[in-house]
């Protein structure tokens, strides 16, 4: 079936030119969306239009092209901020979630973290929400501790509360796990962390592309996500914070655009968010991200979420019939994003991905940049299928066929 | 590339029943490496006997069928050979040992991890540096 109760996938697929291509002579079944998503024609057109119609630098050119480029770039900032319930003044365009966490590490961490302080992350984090804090802790003589997990793949709130008693400076947590799919109650986490005096950072890389997100409701000091995982271009993402928070921070990169005045011995800073956007920014991709937000908004994020829950339910039912199949992550679909990490008996995920590729099926295999979580699961690697608006039941049926073929080759 | 061609009976057999799997009580060479792409790990230990020959060799590791079978088959091939043989060993030799499967560029590294580990260990033992072939040119 090419539609769910929420989304007419047949119509959607027509918007994505890449889905017309064949891989090894088979229809491309793209299930690697947690790594990066495909791009609709409207996003590709926005990039082409920028470069062919009004390519110019922003903010400093008074000619027509410069004004058009500035209007489009700032218009995109407004759109992206509104998409997650934030304000444009509090949105810094970054390369992606990784640059956002590193920005916070330097621009907030340098001034606010001291020797002996505690930073808190969780065992289910992507390396981009672990390694910057390791580096920060090391440079400051602070320590980094991790919230543990429950057997069902949700956060162990007991261990979180225990860590809060040690008055951490920072709590950095993902909104939705890129491996288990676990959707964390980040509003409750941020509220408790705030009461304990901690600054909070939420990694929204796997939530913003898949469900309605209101950062006001989340209540984090910092909220970050990547454009390329939400149908937008690579190399663009957003860090959102309160304007006052950004104003209190040191700059990240020094250079053009982020300054107000420069003297031989010092400089003063531009207003936020420009203070954090040194050099010529990624204008085209920021505009492309705006087009991606338009595309998702036209569908409606509530429908995107409903669609993915329906696919998730169908996939877990269908795939669990395959011999040797074992899925990780919460069984309660209300607590789970459209991600299924799994293993097939003793078939290594890399071998599985090779066999599936031959069928035109793209999944991810490996540690998913979450080695702490792999160790907690006691596996070297998993395979992962993840959904987007252009996936439907036929993709899951194709995956089932591919897994059965792998099972036959490995004589399971 | 055909997966039925890559995952022949013999590869699956070495994957599930790896020969020379384990650790040596006494060894002269120890070497370990990982393939960060898929998390394959291989560690090899070698006991060097008279005439610079590989008297005993064992490996441990975890990872995909190709990496583990390749490492295991390589230990069988290497046993009794002189260390100079290891220096001469080429990627093509490893591919031939595996039955020349048509591996894509992303899987070549899996096949060559065992060779990389053995060469790194032997070169180190001989006091030389092994510029590891990353296999990207496949």
Tokens standing for residue A33: 């969306």
Residue A78 burial class via C-beta count within 10 angstroms: exposed 0-12, middle 13-18, buried 19 and up:
middle
**Does some domain include residue B19?**
yes
**Residue A303: what pLDDT?**
98
Q: What is the mean pLDDT of chain A?
A: 97
The kind and range of the H/E element at A72 are helix A64-83
User: CA A28 to CA A34: how far, in whole Å?
Assistant: 16
Q: Which residue has the tokens 């271009």?
A: A233
**Does some domain include residue B75?**
yes
A175 near A183, Cβ under 8 Å? yes
**Does some domain include residue B55?**
yes
**Does some domain include residue B13?**
yes
Is A381–B41 a contact, with Cβ atoms under 8 angstroms apart?
Answer: no
Please indicate whether residue A151 or residue B138 has the higher confidence score (pLDDT). Answer: A151
A299 — pLDDT class (breaks 50, 70, 90)? very high
The pTM for the full model equals 0.93
CB atoms inside a 10 Å sphere around CB A244: 9
**Does some domain include residue B130?**
no
* A70-116 pLDDT tens trace: 999 999 999 999 999 999 999 999 999 999 999 999 999 999 999 99
Tokens standing for residue A96: 């992606």
Question: Domains plus CATH for chain A?
Answer: 9-30+300-409 (3.90.1150.10), 44-297 (3.40.640.10)
**Does some domain include residue B137?**
no
The number of helices, as runs of H, and strands, as runs of E, in chain A is 15, 17
Compute the C-alpha angle A116/A119/A120, nearest 5°: 145
Q: What is the distance in angstroms between the Cα of B95 and the nearest Cα belonging to chain A? A: 17
Chain B neighbours among A 328-387 (CB < 8 Å)? 346-351, 354-355, 357-358, 365-367, 374, 380-381
* A261-277 pLDDT tens trace: 999 999 999 999 999 99
A201 near A220, Cβ under 8 Å? yes
* A128-187 pLDDT tens trace: 999 999 999 999 999 999 999 999 999 999 999 999 999 999 999 999 999 999 999 999
B4 and chain A: CB distance < 8 Å anywhere? yes
**Residue B102: what pLDDT?**
84
Tokens standing for residue A195: 């009461």
Compute the C-alpha angle A7/A12/A15, nearest 5°: 165
A341 near A35, Cβ under 8 Å? no
**Residue B138: what pLDDT?**
33
Structural domain boundaries enclosing B79: 3-125
Task: List the beta bridge partners of residue B57.
Answer: B46
Domain at B88, CATH number: 3.90.1010.10
Catalytic residue, chosen from A170, A171, A369, A385, is A369
Q: If you measure CA to CA, which chain B residue comes closest to A382?
A: B38
A67 and chain B: CB distance < 8 Å anywhere? no
Q: What is the distance in angstroms between the Cα of B48 and the nearest Cα belonging to chain A? A: 32
Is A374–B63 a contact, with Cβ atoms under 8 angstroms apart?
Answer: no
B38 and chain A: CB distance < 8 Å anywhere? yes
Based on the structure, what is the number of domains in chain B? 1
**Does some domain include residue B135?**
no
A55 — pLDDT class (breaks 50, 70, 90)? very high
B132 — pLDDT class (breaks 50, 70, 90)? low
pLDDT tops 70 at residue B136? no
Pairing of strands A143-147, A118-122: parallel
Q: What is the distance in angstroms between the Cα of B24 and the nearest Cα belonging to chain A? A: 24
The verdict on whether A176 is a catalytic residue reads no
């Amino acid at each position: 079936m090419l539609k769910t109760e929420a989304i007419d996938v047949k119509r959607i697929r027509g918007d994505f030119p890449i889905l017309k291509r064949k891989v090894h002579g088979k229809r491309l079944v793209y299930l690697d969306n947690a790594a990066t998503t495909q791009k609709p024609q409207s996003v590709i057109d926005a990039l082409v239009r920028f470069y062919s119609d009004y390519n110019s630098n922003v903010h400093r050119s008074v000619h027509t092209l410069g004004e058009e480029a500035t209007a489009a770039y700032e218009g995109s900032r407004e759109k992206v901020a509104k998409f997650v319930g934030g304000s444009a003044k509090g949105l810094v365009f970054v390369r992606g979630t990784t640059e956002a966490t590193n920005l916070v590490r330097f621009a907030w961490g340098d001034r606010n973290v001291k020797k002996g302080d505690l930073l808190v992350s969780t065992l289910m984090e992507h390396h981009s929400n672990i390694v910057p804090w390791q580096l920060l802790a090391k440079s400051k003589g602070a320590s980094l501790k991790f919230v543990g997990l429950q057997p069902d793949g949700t956060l162990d709130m007991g261990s979180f509360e225990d860590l809060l008693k040690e008055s951490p400076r920072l709590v950095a947590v993902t909104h939705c796990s890129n491996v288990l799919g676990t959707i964390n109650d980040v509003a409750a986490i941020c509220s408790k962390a705030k009461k304990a005096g901690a600054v909070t950072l939420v990694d929204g890389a796997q939530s913003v592309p898949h469900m309605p997100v209101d950062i006001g409701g989340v209540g984090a000091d910092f909220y970050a996500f990547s454009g390329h995982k939400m149908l937008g271009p690579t190399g663009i993402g957003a860090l959102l914070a309160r304007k006052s928070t950004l104003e209190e921070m040191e700059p990240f990169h020094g250079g053009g655009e982020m300054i107000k005045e420069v003297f031989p011995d010092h400089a003063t800073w531009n207003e936020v968010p420009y203070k954090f956007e040194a050099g010529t920014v990624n204008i085209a991709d920021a505009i492309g991200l705006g087009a991606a937000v338009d595309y998702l908004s036209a569908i409606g994020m509530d429908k995107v979420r409903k669609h993915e829950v329906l696919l998730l339910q169908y996939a877990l039912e269908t795939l669990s019939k395959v011999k040797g199949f074992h899925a990780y992550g919460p069984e309660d679909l209300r607590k789970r994003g459209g991600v299924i990490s799994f293993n097939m008996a003793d078939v290594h995920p890399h071998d599985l991905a090779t066999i599936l590729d031959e069928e035109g099926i793209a999944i991810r295999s490996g540690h998913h940049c979450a080695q702490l979580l792999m160790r907690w699961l006691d596996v070297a690697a998993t395979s992962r299928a993840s959904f987007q608006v252009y996936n439907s039941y036929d993709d899951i049926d194709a995956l089932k066929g591919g897994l059965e073929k792998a099972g036959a080759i490995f004589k399971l | 590339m055909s997966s039925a061609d890559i995952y022949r009976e013999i590869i699956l057999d070495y994957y599930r029943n790896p020969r020379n799997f384990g650790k040596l009580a006494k060894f002269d060479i120890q070497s370990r490496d990982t393939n960060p792409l898929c998390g394959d790990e291989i560690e090899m230990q070698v006991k060097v006997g008279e005439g610079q020959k590989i008297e005993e060799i064992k490996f441990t590791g975890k990872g995909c069928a190709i990496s583990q079978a390749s490492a295991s088959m390589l230990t069988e091939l290497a046993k009794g050979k002189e260390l100079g043989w290891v220096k001469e060993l080429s990627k093509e030799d490893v591919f031939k040992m595996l039955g020349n499967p048509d591996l894509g560029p992303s899987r070549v590294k899996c096949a060559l991890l065992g060779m990389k580990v053995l060469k790194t260990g032997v070169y180190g033992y001989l006091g030389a540096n092994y510029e590891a072939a990353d296999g990207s040119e496949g």
